[in-house]
Amino acid sequence: MEEFQMGFWIFMFIMVLLIPLTMIFFGWLLFRKTPKEINYVYGYRTKRSMMNEETWRFANQYFGKAWYL
């Protein structure tokens, strides 16, 4: 029974770290490698951020920095 409990807590520890590590990774990705063109698949996509290339680049870099920090 104790082996099951230890496995459960290891699983829970990994799941708790999954979201922050994902945020750090995607924050770095958006900040350092901002998508070059406006697209509907990848990046920080809102109506305002997709208005033009300048707002697209700024929004993705800002969002990436916020998630990375």
The model carries a pTM of 0.71
Residue 42 lies in a domain: yes
Q: How many domains does the chain have?
A: 1
Residue 57 lies in a domain: yes
DSSP code for 39: -
Domain range for 43: 20-68
Residue 56 lies in a domain: yes
Rounded alpha-carbon distances, angstroms, from residue 61 to 18, 35, 37: 22, 10, 13
The 3-state DSSP class for residue 46 equals coil
What pLDDT score was predicted for residue 3? 67
Residue 52 lies in a domain: yes
Residue 8 lies in a domain: no
Residue 43: Cβ-neighbour burial (10 angstroms; 0-12, 13-18, 19+): buried
Residue 6 lies in a domain: no
Q: Is the pLDDT of residue 2 over 70?
A: no
Residue 62 lies in a domain: yes
